Amino acid sequence: MELYQKLNSLIESNPNIKELGLIVSTKKFDGEEEKPFLMVENNLAVSFRFIPAIYRYCFETLNKLLISIGDDFRNYDGSSSNSQSQSTTINLSDDTILELNHLSRAILFVNAENITALNVRKKLLCLSNYTTAEQEIKLLNLVFTKHPKSGEAWCHRRWVLNHAPHAFNLELELVVCKRVGEIYPRNYYAWTHRWWALNRPNQLTCQNLIEDLNRVEKWVERNVSDHSAYHHRYLILVQLFKDHVVFGWTLNQVYEIWTNEMRFTDKYIHLYPAHESLWCHKRALYLYWNKEIIITVTTSDDICNIMKRSSQIEYCNQIIQDKDTSYYDDQVRFTNVYLKWINSSSSSDSSSSNFLNK
């Protein structure tokens, strides 16, 4: 109880907390006696051994409060916030709203997967103006610094942005995806969210796609083994092809960006041998090109030569001959897997499928 109040006053008096963390002991930081909380330059640290008590207090208090409020609030689904029946039955005092807000917030700091606490916050957003969607997004940014892999928190974020479309800002979403990806690399949730954000109404523009392609290029340069990032690039490239007419692009522009991507991948395979992600990306580019794009190519388009099967086989042979490369065995293994895929795409040869067992 006392700890919970202390936590609340810390949060309220420091509206710009940047990061949330658990620490084994506060002693290490200031040498003084063990304290439950520590603020260092806008970072809030909570001492590990106080966590169960705070969490338990908050969750049990929240449950008592929910029971006293009654089933109408428990069962409320947000859909009819304007209808007569709902607004008359669910009548929360300002104190109750504040309490629900603070309790659920403290719970999420410890466990962002607590869907009941997340749902309380959804209901509050529907029923009251205690907080805005923008503030909720800000809170989630803070929660992600401690819980970057919380699927439920990402899900809550999408709900907030669906509920209050005006709070959506592509730039902010891309920034949070990047930051969370830095905390927990190869983060499936963050990359899925990134594509979701680009697919929001009116966001799938040529400019947004190209800008993001450039941003992710910088990311890939520092995170060569992040397959999710290549997949994201692939999605952008496919979109640029599918919508090229809408975007006012010529097919040659499409070919150029696709072949550049293949060259970029080839270069990186040389620079950073034996990264499966790069080989998978190469495979995605090759397979999509030869399934969907090739039918638009006329024979005189030299620009597309790199995407031909013969060019790819030649590239693979160079790799296999480059015996001085580091991680040579793994590099050759991935090269052979790639060759199998590109061969299987032209003939469905399933008899050789057992190659990985060798």
**Chain residues in the site for other proteins (CB under 8 A):** 48, 51-52, 55-56, 59, 63, 66, 71, 74-75, 77-79, 110-111, 113-116, 119, 122, 155, 158-159, 162, 186, 188, 191-192, 195-196, 199, 225-228, 231, 235, 275-277, 280, 283-284, 287-288, 291, 337, 340-341, 344, 348, 350, 353-354, 356-357
- The nearer residue to other proteins, 289 or 315, going by C-beta atoms, is 289
- The nearer residue to other proteins, 162 or 252, going by C-beta atoms, is 162
- The nearer residue to other proteins, 30 or 34, going by C-beta atoms, is 34
Give the Cα separation of 345 and 287 in Å (integer).
Answer: 7
- The nearer residue to other proteins, 107 or 252, going by C-beta atoms, is 107
Nearest Cα to Cα of residue 97 among 123, 116, 71, 61: 123
Q: Nearest distance from residue 100's CB to other proteins, in Å?
A: 14
Phi, psi of 250 (to 5 degrees): -85, 160
Instruction: Give one DSSP letter per residue of 18-30, joined into a string.
Output: -EEEEES-SHHHH
Burial letters 163-189, b for 16+ CB under 10 A, else e: eeeebbebeebbebbeebbeeeeebeb
- The nearer residue to other proteins, 14 or 151, going by C-beta atoms, is 151
Q: Nearest distance from residue 303's CB to other proteins, in Å?
A: 22
Q: Nearest distance from residue 272's CB to other proteins, in Å?
A: 11
Regarding beta strands 19-23 and 43-47, do their DSSP bridges make them parallel or antiparallel, or are they unpaired?
A: parallel
Instruction: Give one DSSP letter per residue of 224-248, joined into a string.
Output: TT-HHHHHHHHHHHHHHHHTTTTTT
- The nearer residue to other proteins, 230 or 247, going by C-beta atoms, is 230
Q: Nearest distance from residue 243's CB to other proteins, in Å?
A: 14
Q: Nearest distance from residue 31's CB to other proteins, in Å?
A: 25
- The nearer residue to other proteins, 288 or 302, going by C-beta atoms, is 288
Q: Nearest distance from residue 334's CB to other proteins, in Å?
A: 10
Burial letters 45-62, b for 16+ CB under 10 A, else e: bbbeebbeebbebbbebb
- Which amino acid appears at position 170 of this protein? L
Give the Cα separation of 256 and 258 in Å (integer).
Answer: 5
The three-state secondary structure class of 250 is coil
Q: Nearest distance from residue 260's CB to other proteins, in Å?
A: 20
Helix %, strand %, coil % of the chain (to 5):
70, 5, 25
**Which residues, in sequence order, are CB contacts of 154 under 8 Å at separation 6+?**
189, 190, 192, 193
**Which residues, in sequence order, are CB contacts of 102 under 8 Å at separation 6+?**
4, 8
Q: Under the phi-then-psi rule, with left for phi > 0, alpha for psi from -120 to 50, and beta for the rest, what region is 273?
A: beta
Q: Nearest distance from residue 133's CB to other proteins, in Å?
A: 15
- The nearer residue to other proteins, 16 or 351, going by C-beta atoms, is 351
Q: Nearest distance from residue 83's CB to other proteins, in Å?
A: 16
- The nearer residue to other proteins, 195 or 219, going by C-beta atoms, is 195
**Which residues, in sequence order, are CB contacts of 217 under 8 Å at separation 6+?**
233, 264
Is-contact 105 136, C-beta < 8 A? no
- The nearer residue to other proteins, 110 or 143, going by C-beta atoms, is 110
**Which residues, in sequence order, are CB contacts of 358 under 8 Å at separation 6+?**
none
Q: Nearest distance from residue 79's CB to other proteins, in Å?
A: 8
